Every structure is written in C-alpha cells, then in structure tokens.
Structure 1
Amino acid sequence: MSSSSPAAAGQAVGQLSPGFVLFNFCPQTNSSQPPSGPPYIPTVAQLGGQPKPLPDDPITAVLLALFVGSAAMHMTIFQVNRRHSHRFIFSILLFGFSMARITALTMRLVFSQHSTNVSVGIAAGVFTAAGVLLLFLVNLMFAQRIVRAYHPSFGWHNALRWAFRTLYITVGACLIMVITVSIHLFYTSDPVVRQRERNVQLFAGTYLAVLAFLPIPIVLAARAAAWWKVRKETDKKKRLVAEKFGSGSFKAKMTLLLTTSTLLALGAAFRAGTAYVPRPITDPAWYHSRAAYYCFNFVIELIVVYMYGIARFDKRFHVPNGSSKPGDYAKGFGLSVNKEEEVFGTEEGSATVEEKMDEDDTSGVVGHDSGVMAGPEWEERYAYARGQSVILEQAKKSGEAV
C-alpha cells in the first residue's frame, strides 16, 4: 500500500502532537523508502499517539464533561455579574477556552472512530494548540494589574503599556506561524523547507513557554520592588504603596496568579521540551504516553479554570471600567460585586469560598495585609501615602455612591 493511501493519511494525521508543535518532524530520517505523496507520515513519535476507542474514549469523555462544567460555571458567573452591571470579560475568555477544549476533545472522540479522516485529525490538533493561549493572556493581564497597583506611575507608563501589548500580539503571531507550518509539513517533502518549518515550531513553542512563565517573575519583581521602597520606613502611614483593586488580600491574588502560572508554565515547558528530543516512531519515550498527554495538557488546564472559578477571580481582579491612569483603581473602592451564594448557592451560616481563603477584604500594604479600608483612618492614610487630593475625593465619592 502506498503512503498516500487513506490508511497512511489517517496514520499521519493521527500522530499530530497535542501542543504548540502540532507535528514534530525530524528532518534527518533513516527511512529507506520516503513517502511518495502527501500527506506524509511522521518519522518520530508524537505526544499521545493516535487515539483509539480504548482507552482514549472513556478518558476523553470524562475530560469533556469536566470542561462542559467549567464552561457552564464561567458563563453563569459572567451572566450574574452582568445583571449587577459588572462586566468581567475574563469570565468570557475562560468560557471560550472551555469551549475550545470541548471542541478539541470532541474531535478526538470522532477521530478515534474514524482514523482515516484527515480533516478531523488536523482540527483536533489545531483546537488543542490554540485554546491554552487564552489562559496565557489572562495571566499576563492580571500580572499587569499587579504591577499597576504596586507601581502606578511605572505600571501606567506608555512604554510598559506597549510592552504588554506587544506580548499579546506576539502570542497571536506565534499561533498563526506554528499552525501554518505544522499543517504545511504534511504536504511538502523538501528537506530544506521541512528543516525551516521545524525551526519555526521550536521557536514558537519555546517562546510561548516563556510567556506562560513570565507572570511569575513580573509579579515577584513588583512585590520585591515595593518592599525595597519601604523597607526602612517606620511610619505605617507611609507603608501603603499599593492601589487597592478588587476584593481579597494582595497575598491571595498573588498566590492564585503564581499557582496558575506555575501550572501553565509546566505544561508549556513539557510540550516545548519534548519537541527538542524526537524519538523514532517505533520507540516512543515515556513522555509520549497517553498519561503524559492528558495530564500535561487537559488536567493542568482543568485545575487552572476551576481554581479561577472557585476562588472567584472575577471579584479579586476586578478594576473599575475605563481605568487608564494612576489612581483609577481607587475609584473601585467599595464597589459591590455579587457574592458566591448568588452564583452557586450557599447554605445559611456557611462560609463562602473567599472567606475561607482570606478574612481581610482588601490589602494595599507591603508586608502587612491589614486592609486599606478596615478602619476609619483609611482616608487619612491613603492621602498621606499618595498626596493626591483629587484621587482621594474620587475614592470618597465612589464609596458614598455605593
């Protein structure tokens, strides 16, 4: 049977890699008879391999149900918030991510039953690669809010603003590049072209792994710089260096962001790292197994989306609409956002998720999470620390309006 037969085509697409590198082609192969026509058969082992009814279908079905649950959770939170005039767009982004995962898993289920369907195999790989980028963007935007809260003048500077915008644009550019070259690899036999396209795959996978990790040093550097600025200050009034936004302590915000970023960076690094160590298709390594495929992709992502939903990230990372300069976060002080029982329902007298995570409602003090608005002296402390009467008046008016 020739390599261009339907069975060979199905085998080729069935070996699509699930990460950013859709197809790990090794340009130097010992194959004595190269394929005669497209789509060409991969010569190296792929993450997860070709799905089969057993054991892939039961595992995929469970993951599919869990992502349906995450999509319902984030859409419910968004709709309840919308009725309270609180439009938190990140809930929609996580809903979109969950839908992308639902599509990818559905395609994988279909492909396990129709292994010769080239289009289904390619679509499953594309949706798997594309979806996780939304989580990277969400974490980068949250890291930017942390920087702006701790260092308003620097965080709102046009240079930093455009630096983050450049990162967002490059994420989309990398996605387009890697999908284009990965699909094209199925339809070219030119060794020079294949080598160049593999280089594109490796660069894009590595770059996106770095982006997944980037929120960690950004947040830690912002916190460390704020601590450095006030390390010798004995006057507690002058220790207030962060502009409050959302609800919950800064410690809880940073813990949530650092944890999710670590998980996403682990998955991205795994996908990128395996691309650098190709193995023959007849001798796959442990990291090509189904267990590694499902755990380092879908399980990690499920943990992240459920952590954000259960921890109510829509409350913790909320900022006033139209924020565009230092002091704008202060306008959101005291704004009411729906409680957990309005979304999920809570038995009378039971503690909410947020109350369990942190007892203080807010924090803007480096080294001490006592709460900016915890006492009547808040206005004096804020004015003393900032020396901006205009911002103080805006904050007071916002609090009175609520």
Structure 2
Amino acid sequence: MLYQLAGDCRFVEKQPLDAAPIMNDNPPFSVNEAHLGGVPTPIPDTPLTIIFLVLFTLALVLSITFYQLDRTRLRPDDYSDDGPDDDPDDHRHSSLFRRLVPPPLLPALRAGFILTRLAALATRLVWTYHPGTRDLEMASTILAPAGTVLPLIANVLLARRFLRDYAVFGPHPAVVRSARAAVFCAVAALVMAVSAHADSYFTREPEELDRGRSVWLAAECIRLAVAVLAPLAVLAGGWGLPAREEVERDKPRFAGRAAMICGVGVLLTLQQGLRTGVAFEGRGPESQAWFLHKAAYYCFVDLIDLAIVCWFLVARMDPRFRVRRPTALMKDKESPDGAGTMVPAWSESWRDRVNTEMEVFGNSG
C-alpha cells in the first residue's frame, strides 16, 4: 500500500488514479440547495434562538391562561361549531363536563403551532453546535415550515365563521365545503412538502430529485394559494356580496373582524411568498443572496410567527369569533297555553329527529 503524508500530520491511504471515487457518507446525504437561514452558527443564532424560545414559551403560557379564562366565562357549547345550545341548568354544564370537553379548535391550533415552533427552535439550537449532523439538519429544515399549516387552517376557519355570520349565503353548504377543501389542500401540501424534502436526503438519483423538487414546488404553491384564500374570501364577502339585515346595525364590529383576518392573511402570504420564492430560486449551498441570509430567516419566519401568535392572543380571536347559533320560534310542549318561545333551532338532539314506533306504525290498540 502507498501512503502519503497529509497536511495535518496524518497518514492517509493514497488511491490509484484510475480508481472510482469512494462515497464516504451514508444516508442521509447532503443536499445541493441552500436552506433559508443557512447553517446556524453560535453567533448570532444562539442568542436569537434562545430569545425566541423564551418568547414562544411565554406565548404558550398566555394561550393556556386565556383558554382557561374563556372556559370559565363562556359556556362549553359556545366553542363548538355544530354543538347544541341547551338549557343552562343542564347536567352537561357541570364542572366534570367542563373538564371532559375537548379543547376548542382555535386554541388547539394555536397551541399546536406554538409547540411546533418551540420544537423547531430547539432543533436549530442543537444543530448550531453539531453542524455536521445531517439528521439534525433534516429535522430542523422540516420542522421550520411544518407548523405554518396550522395558522393557515385557523385563518380559513375564521374566514368561514365570518362569512357565516355576515353574508346572506354564509350558511350555504358550498361555503362549508370550500373551507373543508382548503383545509384538506393545506394538510395535503404539508404532507407533500415534508415527504419530498425528506426523500431528498436519502437519494442521489437525478430523476428522483427532480420529481421530488416538482412535488415540493407544487406544495409551496398550494400553501401560498391557501394563505391568499382567506383574506380574499373575507374581502369578497364584505364588499361584493349582500349582507344580512341584522349586520347593517353592527358593521363596525364586523369590520374589525375582517381587518383581523386580513392582517393575519397578509403576514402568512408574506411569509409563504418568501418560502415559495426560495423554493423556485433553487440557489446552491454557497449562495449569499439576501433572501437566504439569517436576517431574512429570523424576520420572515420567527418574527412573523411570533406576530401571528400575539395577534391571536391580543385580539382574543376565540371569543370574538364564536359561532352564532340562529334561533327559531318553536312551540313549547311543556307550556300550559302552548305559546311559542324563542329556543335554539339546533337544540334538538339526533334522538329527537328519529321517528318513534308510535309515529311509524300508529296506535295498534
């Protein structure tokens, strides 16, 4: 065997000139595209990451606190999209039932989003001191954009609730199905992006990488379209479509709701627009473009995410966007005079809608 003296005083085996190059690394492989924010370094990534970790932890504590306050001030059924609005003295409104009620959707999405941001920041902090570990690189680059689907879903649901209260056609099934389709597209785009990005670390075939890149670009475009959908739907419903009669006397409150949804939509569109542009640009790892710099990462990712969380907390989105349950004039069977009383139209359970044996077969004697 032939050996040569390396520059660091180590003996390295000398390969023949006609030998094929040896692939020393095993999966996961290194990728040939630059990440948003680049490879973290102790300065400035460590202090910035710790600051955002503390801020998101405080936001999580405030989120849980506000949720508990809302549970004590509001009835449990006020959080549900389709739940009944029964008598206040019903046994289901006991303290035991309050503990058994599943968390409402908006606070759950908000808490899940904060937890994903904490996980992404913690992974990036560990990656800072182990820059050669590709497992940490893969986990950090996947967790960073993964949580953005939750505020996208929350904003779509808020837009749906706004249209249901404001527009004449709000309760139409087409609005509900459109919102569900947008949520499905957002979740599908997340799965597409995560799978394509993860596969790029485990293959070196050019065809596989090209197909994965196409899937990744399609996922980014879908998420950008969902981010733009909610504010466009609110603007179209607020200015281009007829409103309910009872809304005319309460338009300032609805204008505030529309501004909240559009504000979150603008922030999400700005952030997702940067991600989509970076994906289409496809710069190499040595690129020094401004949109790949650490300042762009912390301003367009962590700072916008923190602003969205604070927006949801300060504006009190959960009680402000409670679903209004329509009431209808129904005959009170227990009333001696048979007078009609205003009761919720959805107060009947599914058991009340099932025909009894007497109603089906009649009185057989």
TM-score interval, smaller chain = 0.7 to 0.9
Q: Is the partner of 1:393 in helix, strand or coil?
A: strand
Match of 1:76 among 39, 52, 65: 65
Alignment of 1:103-182 (within 5 A): 103-152=119-168, 154-182=169-197
Q: Does 1:198 align with 2:147?
A: no
Counterpart for residue 225 of structure 1: 240
Indicate the structure (1 or 2) with the bigger Cα radius of gyration: 2
Change (3 A) 1:240 1:82: closer
Separation in 2, partners of 1:40, 1:117: 10
Correspondence for 2:319 among 306, 315, 321 = 315
Which of residues 296, 301, 306 in structure 2 aligns to 1:297? 301
* Count of matched residue positions in the alignment of Structure 1 and Structure 2: 288
Where in structure 2 are the equivalents of 1:239-258 lying within 5 Å?
Answer: 240-241=246-247, 249-258=253-262
Gaps of at least 5 residues in structure 1 are 1-32, 231-237, 332-389
Mapping 1:63-102, distance limit 5 Å: 63-84=52-73, 85-86=75-76, 87=79, 88-102=104-118
CA distance in 2, matches of 1:35, 1:222: 58
Does residue 1:285 correspond to 2:297, yes or no? no
Aligned residue for 1:40?
Answer: 29
TM-score, normalised via structure 2 length: 0.72
- Comparing 42-51 and 179-188, the one that deviates more: 42-51
Question: Are 1:393 and 2:338 counterparts?
Answer: no
Q: SS at 2:281's partner residue?
A: coil
The structure with more strand, counted as a fraction of residues: 2
Q: Is the 8 Å Cα contact of residues 267 and 304 (structure 2) preserved in structure 1?
A: yes
Show structure 2 runs of 5+ residues with no match: 1-20, 80-103, 330-339, 348-365
Structure 1 position 269 matched with structure 2 position 273: yes
Change (3 A) 1:34 1:149: farther
Q: Which residue of 1 aligns with 2:88?
A: none
Cα shift at 1:121: 2.6
Q: 1:189 aligns with which of 182, 198, 204?
A: 204
Instruction: Describe the SS at the equivalent of 1:41.
Output: coil
Identity %: 30
Matched, 1:56 2:71: no
Cα contact 2:138–2:198 (8 A) shared by 1 = yes
